Amino acid sequence: MRRLALALSLLVFAGACAERPDARAPITLVFKHAHILGSENPIPKLIAEFEARHPGVRVKAEALPWNSDEQRQFFVINLEGGSPGFDVMMLDVIWVPEFARAGWLYDLTPRLLPQELSVFFPSTVEAATQGGRVWAMPWNMNVGMLYYRADLLAKYGFVPPATWNDLVAQAERIRAGERNPRLDGVLWQGKQYEGLVVNVLEHLWADGTDVLGPGGAIFPDAARADFVLGFMRGLLERGVSPPWTTAADEELTRRAFGKGEAVFLRSWPYAYDLLQQADSPVRGRVGIAALPRHRDGERGEGSTGGSHLAVHRGTRHPDLALDLVRALTSERAQRLMVTGAALYPTRMALYHAPDLVQRNPALPEIAALTLAGRPRPVTPYYLAISTLLQPELSAAIVGVKRPARAVADARLALGFVLRGARGDLAAKISAPPSPSAAPR
């Protein structure tokens, strides 16, 4: 009897392992992703195509909460629990090292061919690489950049500013000349959230320093961090940026710039599509450029971002799940995503595809900015670091703490929380590309 039971259970087990879909027991893959906005969500179409190519396989696409903190919390709680009930997940690029380190992601390294990865922006592959293994496929891409009002700059004989001081001077000159009380100088994201950390990082990089130094030191150059935060606070105090910057996120700033209420805007590529829409008041009057640098920096670098697709380590169908990831990151999928949902491709070639460039002439320029961009620190502890930095950075921007105080407090808090992670941090931080690496 017992032998029979054993044989039966083995049979069931074997059946479960074999990935031979048949009509009686259809396989279901669950794909968790954030809401896709835009004129035409390409996901249902792509999934239907995948199902047509894989008879007997059904893909259930389930949307995550709207807010990125809640998305991550959903993943962490379910993955830590062990049997999360999904196979493929869309991850913000900054979560990939953390999730890989926690052992939640399926190691894609043995199954990916080198030429499969070389078509993506190197920085996206780097962001998904942890301990020499690749844990996720790049899905869509973002890079921080400077939008400017080409008409206003031309009117006053300016070219896009190379340094932040130039930017301030241009903004003040244009505002004085225009005499429009609704016209602000530069808009950026100063609310207490990840976006603020990104803005501060870009200013730090623009001044030739970083939030994490070699060896895992926090704010390795405290004096420059102090200067950078003071400069950002100064933008508000001088009136170059409006007081509501302290509550500003991407959409708030994009809408104000889109109404013609600012000379400059720091944002991501998605804004370009919206600013150039037929009913946009600034249509045809917007230019894009690299972010300016500070006095001690060599050049401004935009922070890269975006999302990746990863396979859950415990999935019963790793091959199918990887196939789905490949299908969703394919050239065809990324074409549909950039035209339908303004999600920018991770495949470099698409930025030069004639039909796409005709739709969006800024693509080659965005590709160049992306290549010159820089990932946020690639470490499993990034989320912890960012979360601890946010209140301190916000305090400095709002003006309730002096910048030096905020830097000192952040150093203290991070030093304590990451006391067990020092070795890890030191090992990972050697990676960021040197500023002199020329864009290809």
Partner 1 sequence: MTPRTRAARREGLVYLAPALCALGALTVYPALWVIWLSLQERMPIFGIERFEGLRNYLFLAVDPRFWSAARVTIVFTLASVALEVLLGLGVALLLRQQQLGRKLALGLLLLAWALPAVVTAKMFEWLYHPAAGLVNFLLGGRQINWLGDPALALPGLILADVWRTIPFVALLCYARLLGIPAALYEGAEVDGAGRWAIFRFVTVPMLRRILLIAALFRTLDALRAFDLMFVLTRGGPAGTTETLTLYAYRSLFQTLQIGFGSAVGVVVFALVMAVAWAYLAAQRDEDTAG
CB of 230 vs partner 1, minimal distance in Å: 15
**Closer to partner 1 by Cβ: residue 252 or 274:** 252
The one-letter code for the residue type at 368 is A
CB of 102 vs partner 1, minimal distance in Å: 4
CB of 46 vs partner 1, minimal distance in Å: 31
Query: Comparing C-alpha atoms, which of 207, 143, 212 is closest to residue 389?
Result: 212
Task: Tell me: does residue 73 bind partner 1 (CB under 8 A).
Answer: yes
Among 24-32, 216-224, 366-374, 415-423, the segment contacting partner 1 (CB under 8 A): 415-423
Task: Tell me: does residue 280 bind partner 1 (CB under 8 A).
Answer: no
- Considering only residues 157, 354, 420, 423, which one is a binding residue for partner 1 as defined by CB under 8 A? 420
**Closer to partner 1 by Cβ: residue 29 or 395:** 395
Among 53-61, 217-225, 341-349, 399-407, the segment contacting partner 1 (CB under 8 A): 399-407
Partners of 105 in beta bridges: 312
Task: Tell me: does residue 80 bind partner 1 (CB under 8 A).
Answer: yes
CB of 103 vs partner 1, minimal distance in Å: 8
Q: What six digits make up the tokens of 260?
A: 């013609």
Site for partner 1 in 141-200 (CB under 8 A): 191-192
H-assigned helices in 84-221: 96-101, 114-117, 122-127, 150-155, 164-178, 194-206
- Considering only residues 12, 412, 427, 437, which one is a binding residue for partner 1 as defined by CB under 8 A? 412
Task: Tell me: does residue 74 bind partner 1 (CB under 8 A).
Answer: no
Long-range contact pairs involving 326-334 (C-beta distance under 8 Å, separation at least 24): 326/137, 327/46, 327/49, 327/50, 327/53, 328/43, 328/46, 328/50, 328/88, 328/139, 329/137, 329/138, 329/139, 332/46, 333/42, 333/46, 334/140
For tokens 């990324």, the residue is 334
Q: Helix, strand, or coil here: 182?
A: coil
Query: Phi and psi dihedrals of 69, rounded to 5?
Result: -60, -40
Among 38-46, 209-217, 256-264, 405-413, the segment contacting partner 1 (CB under 8 A): 405-413
Pairing of strands 88-92, 303-311: antiparallel
User: Between helices 222-237 and 403-417, what is the axis angle to 10°?
Assistant: 130
Task: Tell me: does residue 409 bind partner 1 (CB under 8 A).
Answer: yes
**Closer to partner 1 by Cβ: residue 196 or 333:** 196
CB of 391 vs partner 1, minimal distance in Å: 4
Q: What b/e string do you get for 260-289 counting C-beta neighbours within 10 Å, with b at 16 or more?
A: bbbbbbbbbbbbbbbbbeeebebeebbbbb
- Considering only residues 24, 355, 358, 416, which one is a binding residue for partner 1 as defined by CB under 8 A? 416
Among 262-270, 297-305, 348-356, 387-395, the segment contacting partner 1 (CB under 8 A): 387-395
Q: What six digits make up the tokens of 366?
A: 């965005």
Cα 411 from chain centroid (whole Å):
25
The one-letter code for the residue type at 246 is T
Task: Tell me: does residue 387 bind partner 1 (CB under 8 A).
Answer: yes
Task: Tell me: does residue 417 bind partner 1 (CB under 8 A).
Answer: yes
Among 33-41, 306-314, 347-355, 417-425, the segment contacting partner 1 (CB under 8 A): 417-425
**Closer to partner 1 by Cβ: residue 67 or 277:** 67
**Closer to partner 1 by Cβ: residue 110 or 423:** 423
- Considering only residues 178, 244, 335, 365, which one is a binding residue for partner 1 as defined by CB under 8 A? 244
Q: Helix, strand, or coil here: 344?
A: strand
222: number of Cβ within 10 Å: 17
Among 115-123, 175-183, 282-290, 381-389, the segment contacting partner 1 (CB under 8 A): 381-389
Task: Tell me: does residue 427 bind partner 1 (CB under 8 A).
Answer: no
Task: Tell me: does residue 397 bind partner 1 (CB under 8 A).
Answer: yes
- Say how many residues touch partner 1, by CB under 8 A: 36
- Considering only residues 388, 407, 425, 429, which one is a binding residue for partner 1 as defined by CB under 8 A? 388
Task: Tell me: does residue 394 bind partner 1 (CB under 8 A).
Answer: yes
Pairing of strands 184-187, 374-375: unpaired
Contact present, 32 and 95 (Cβ < 8 Å): no
- Percent helix, strand, coil in the chain, to 5, is 50, 15, 35
Contact present, 11 and 65 (Cβ < 8 Å): no
Residues found near partner 1 in the complex (CB under 8 A): 69, 73, 76, 80, 98, 101-102, 191-192, 243-244, 246-247, 380-381, 383-384, 387-388, 391, 394-395, 397-401, 409, 412-413, 416-417, 419-421, 424
